[in-house]
Amino acid sequence: QKEVEQDPGPLSVPEGAIVSLNCTYSNSAFQYFMWYRQYSRKGPELLMYTYSSGNKEDGRFTAQVDKSSKYISLFIRDSQPSDSATYLCAMSGTTGRRALTFGSGTRLQVQP
C-alpha cells in the first residue's frame, strides 16, 4: 500500500462548481496535513495547513482531516479558471520521518 494515495485526475469542472479533492494515507504517525498548488513548471505553493483532525477554512478553500479514516479533503467553492493547476496533498509527522510526504497530485481544469 502506498503511503499517500491521490487520484491523479484530470478533473474538469465548469467555472463556479464546487471541487472536492481527496487523499488517503496509511501512516498513522502523520500529524500535519497540507495542500499545495502547483502550476506548470513552478514549485509547489502552500494553500492550506491543518494539524491533526478537523476543518479549516480560508476564503473559498476548506480543508478537512479525518484521522480515524486516514482521509483528507480539500474543497474549492466557486471555482475559477485561475484555480486550474495540480493540487498536491502532503503530510508529515512529529516523530521519526518529519519530511513532507507528497501525494502524486490531482490535475484540475476549471472551464470558463
Task: Specify the residue, 6 or 84, whose C-beta has the smaller distance to other proteins.
Answer: 6
Report if residue 104 touches other proteins, rule: CB under 8 A: yes
Task: Specify the residue, 18 or 46, whose C-beta has the smaller distance to other proteins.
Answer: 46
Q: Which of 12, 46, 54, 58 is the binder for other proteins (CB under 8 A)?
A: 46
Task: Specify the residue, 49 or 75, whose C-beta has the smaller distance to other proteins.
Answer: 49
The C-alpha cell 494553500 sits at 47
Query: Among 78, 5, 92, which residue's Cα sits nearest to residue 46?
Result: 92
Compute the CA torsion angle 66, 78, 107, 75 (nearest 10 deg): 0
Kindly state the smallest distance separating residue 14's Cβ from other proteins, in Å.
27
Task: Specify the residue, 26 or 94, whose C-beta has the smaller distance to other proteins.
Answer: 94
Q: What is the DSSP string of 46-75?
A: EEEEEESSEEEEETTEEEEEETTTTEEEEE
For residue 32 the three cell numbers come to: 500535519
Q: Binding residues for other proteins, per CB under 8 A?
A: 32, 34, 41-46, 49, 88, 90, 92-95, 97-105
